Structure 1
């Protein structure tokens, strides 16, 4: 599973993944009026929410990769809080934030597509809060998380160095 591999590669054993309870996920889904993508839902319920180290960002920067780093994953309660707050700050109302990059931009699911059951319903979107753009970044959560699993860790002590 991609999220397990992500945890093995980009997190510290000192900060294990945060467990997510099914009841919390169901409360989020009821409140938002959606069913989250099955691959996301299953991965998070099984593995938990990882807390990536700076090594991921350092490796992306060191290798000049065309990826946006992921800095934090939101719990169901945080998803509600962050989504609501960012909507007030200009994030499109159809987006549901589930993670953030190191600059505070959001990785999201599209509630309208989830509700409609469209072909791209499971896609991951990126909201850049500085320029207020929304970009498609992956056709699914599994595809998105595997992009990070395919990044080679930078050599050294595991923390690399941001340039």
Structure 2
């Protein structure tokens, strides 16, 4: 992934992605969770919403724009999905920021809930899941 792709995404959505997210995806690429994560969350009855896919920069734009037409509030930018198609989002931000909270958009109810103070905190929760 190139920094220019992230800059293009930010320009299209008039937002700034958090620096910690940008640095991680530029250095390591997008995480690709497997079904083992979902299985461990379900089997261990963990209080985590599963993440099934991290969106590429172009998908961030298309998914965010599509879901805004279907109820995603304008002040959120989707960057990942769960197994049911619900969205993990950052708040829209006009200034460069080291970290931003992570929100969960439930497409069935339209509810938006803050689930982590930072993206690194959110990722750390998944890293602590022990596979079956």
Match of 2:40 in 1: 59
Distance between the aligned counterparts of 2:95 and 2:28, measured in 1? 28
2:81 is the counterpart of 1:100: yes
- 1:115 Cα deviation after fit: 2.4
Q: 8 Å contact 2:16–2:96 — kept in the other structure?
A: no
Partner deviation per Cα, 1:85-117 (whole Å, 9 max, x = no partner):
001111111110000000000000010xx2267
Structure 1 stretches of 4+ with a deviation exceeding 4 A read: none
Superposed CA RMSD: 1.6
SS in 2 for 1:115: coil
SS in 2 for 1:125: strand
Tell me, which stretches of 5 or more residues in structure 1 are unaligned?
1-19, 155-163
2:10 is the counterpart of 1:29: yes
- 1:40 Cα deviation after fit: 0.5
Match of 2:94 in 1: 115
Question: TM-score, normalized by length of structure 2?
Answer: 0.95
Tell me, which stretches of 5 or more residues in structure 2 are unaligned?
none
Question: TM-score, normalized by length of structure 1?
Answer: 0.77
- 1:146 Cα deviation after fit: 0.5
